[in-house]
Chain A
């Protein structure tokens, strides 16, 4: 790093320019990552927060994938699953998006119907009552004791708890029997639900259970793909993030390609003086890593500062995973791009140092 450090100080302008590009790309990736995580949470937190490890859907027709919209399971199915060895708990959940009213306030909410003492809701549900998530309570201006109407069915607010959200709407936890009245479409009459939340001990034969119950079981994370909007939304954002990572690696690679070509004369001199190629590669890669770490650190700090001022209404999650994670990926991919470009150091002929062309 003897020469690399001094090059960084000497060619301040060039490295500052490239460093600024890294800072800006990191900032963009950081903000996009936080937004992706925020949107994902708004789409799925009600499911990922369930005390369950699997969700069972009604088996879809051949050639179709499971979806929360199309799935409808009956009491026979959750009883069949509950009776399977290794399955500790099988609880039905009804899920539907409905209009809610409280006084003069209206809001679209996701009604999650669960059975009493199922342990799925953040508060105790009972017939005729509703547990509102914080955002649902805020949107409806409702507090415990108030009355809310879900698709014409009036319920008393028993508690405000949790911040569960599903498909970008706040969740209202109600009794499964009430949900069967509230859910749109008459097909849900009777003992029906949307999916079955499973808690298994790990030894359960879920494939056999599915065959017996006529269901298709997914892990909770795998089940998220069954939310219609989630896959398209998350896929688009992840694609953007991926492109940004690739672009940053290519930009860094291009910079170090030009930089290596520019200093190929110096490299030839160092080789002629007896420098080993590994020494020169370490020096150049170290220089790249210093610039990457500095640039991504500054970009991450800026993203965190901006994130601190983003209003609560924007789905924006600043967590270690969404801030440090992209910075680490940027650094690793950038170093890979730099490594690919500085490999041309190996091809520099020290004999050129003896010429008079420099």
Chain B
């Protein structure tokens, strides 16, 4: 099960004209791999995620999630697809303030018509996988930033998605915690066979990716594998992109 975006073009209205956010973008993410997308602010990374998450319908091109083409399905079917096939790790944890860590995961199953009790074991298992067994009964305001982000990741995996979309997961974390979160994502991707798209501006974390793409002015270019297949050398970013990312904010 994979994610496939073919020849995607997306434009937004801008005054009298339209601005192109994605320009004939093609991306194929195989199951069990992480593809990182890097690029400066405003380059179209978030638009790419929005299209992949079926939250925005592109002007042209096709999006296939886990073998299901999304072009001709309605709003309710898209919501169902997001529930069952897609996991989204938001840039901010976006946890619901009234729910405990455990309930943040259980609500995913409830959205899909399951009783929270039926999925308790799986939710506890996922919390254990992200190292939060002892925090299961805590609400977001009782958790640290890193713990909230780990709940965010566990929630995205709750319905066993075939595609995981990860939006700047380390922007609110310090370097050490950010690295731990990315390692966790990479490990879970391989263990669970998801196709993961990681949008990030932090080049120090690209080593976890199997493939790295650059997004510049709405166009996606191949930047090569994150590590050299023979020696495991880390991905070397382009100087222009590096300086752009240094000056960028968390938003992409």
Contact = CB atoms under 8 A, between A and B. Distances in A.
Interface of A: 2-3, 6-7, 9-11, 265-266, 269-277, 279, 350-351, 353-356, 358
Contact of A269 (B76, B84, B96): B96
Contact of B111 (A265, A274, A356): A274
B111 A279 contact: yes
A290 B244 CA distance: 52
Nearest to B158: A273
B82 interface: yes
Interface string B93-116: 010111100010011101110001
Contact of B94 (A7, A351, A358): A358
Contacts of A279: 111
Nearest to B76: A276
A350 B168 CA distance: 18
B80 A351 contact: no
B79 interface: yes
Given A2-B110, A270-B111, A273-B83, 15 more contacts: A2-B107, A10-B98, A269-B90, A270-B96, A270-B107, A273-B88, A273-B111, A274-B79, A275-B79, A276-B80, A277-B79, A350-B55, A353-B94, A354-B49, A355-B46
B98 A7 contact: yes
A353 B108 CA distance: 16
Contacts of A269: 90, 94, 96
B171 interface: yes
B81 interface: yes
Nearest to A1: B110
Nearest to B168: A356
A105 B83 CA distance: 82
B56 interface: yes
Nearest to B80: A274
16 contacts: A2-B106, A2-B116, A269-B94, A272-B82, A273-B83, A273-B108, A273-B111, A274-B82, A274-B83, A274-B159, A276-B79, A279-B111, A351-B56, A353-B94, A354-B88, A354-B90
Contact of A356 (B55, B81, B88, B171): B171
Contact of A353 (B81, B90, B116, B251): B90
Interface of B: 46, 49-50, 53, 55-56, 76, 79-84, 86, 88, 90-92, 94, 96-99, 103, 106-108, 110-112, 116, 139, 155, 159, 167-168, 171, 249-251
In the A-B complex, the 10 residue pairs with the smallest Cβ-Cβ separation, listed nearest first, are A274-B83, A10-B98, A274-B82, A6-B98, A2-B110, A269-B94, A7-B98, A351-B55, A275-B111, A356-B251
Contacts of A270: 96, 107, 111
A16 to B, nearest CB: 15
B97 A266 contact: yes
A197 B50 CA distance: 77
A6 B103 contact: yes
A3 B107 contact: yes
A190 B216 CA distance: 108
Nearest to A8: B98
Contacts of B91: 354-356
B58 to A, nearest CB: 13
Nearest to A268: B94
Nearest to B103: A6
Contacts of A274: 79-84, 86, 108, 111-112, 159
B94 A271 contact: no
A3 B96 CA distance: 9
B251 A355 contact: yes
B48 to A, nearest CB: 11
A321 to B, nearest CB: 39
Nearest to B95: A269
A358 B110 CA distance: 24
A351 B50 contact: yes
B3 to A, nearest CB: 16
B12 to A, nearest CB: 11
B138 to A, nearest CB: 13
Nearest to B49: A354
A217 to B, nearest CB: 59
A354 B46 contact: yes
A272 B55 contact: yes
Name the residue among B56, B92, B112 with the largest chain A CB count within 10 angstroms.
B92
Contacts of A10: 97-98, 139
A350 B82 CA distance: 11
A266 B111 CA distance: 14
Contacts of B155: 273
B201 to A, nearest CB: 12
Pick the most buried of B88, B112, B139, B155: most chain A CB atoms within 10 A of its CB.
B88
A356 B107 contact: no
Nearest to B116: A2
A275 B112 CA distance: 8
Nearest to A352: B55
B79 A271 contact: yes
Contact of B98 (A3, A271, A276): A3
A355 to B, nearest CB: 7
A29 B98 CA distance: 33
